[in-house]
Amino acid sequence: LAEVRALIEVPVVLRLARSVPVERWAELRPVAEATVRAASSGCRATYAEADRAFHRAVLLLSGNEQLVQISEDLHRRSQWPLVGGPASRGRADLIADAAEHTALLDALIARDLDVVRGLVGGHF
């Protein structure tokens, strides 16, 4: 599921990185920071919800509701082990994942496409 999500989300984010105005990216800062707070709590379910909200906010900038719905379904399904399975991902892993959101947002605001490409490619 993560591979399918990457096939959908990576090209969309790379396209958006070239076309979305910087101020629109800046509006997503509170959503990215919410993932950091959720990760810091150590609660996997809380983090999963914040993580989906961030990815949804990014993809909504595409204006393609079908893409957003499909991606969100894949995201939810791929998170099931995160939420309900054994605690294979600890608090440090959640924090590292959330830090990728803020780093991605920083790169999008800076229009640093090389960093954006590297982050979205590795995030999945």
Instruction: Quick: pLDDT tens for 45-95.
Output: 999 999 999 999 999 999 999 999 999 999 999 886 554 444 556 889 999
Query: Domain limits of the chain?
Result: 2-123
Q: How far apart are CA 87 and CA 80, in angstroms?
A: 12
pLDDT at 121: 87
pLDDT at 122: 87
Q: What pTM did the predictor assign?
A: 0.89
Domain 2-123 belongs to what topology? Answer: Four Helix Bundle (Hemerythrin (Met), subunit A) (1.20.120)
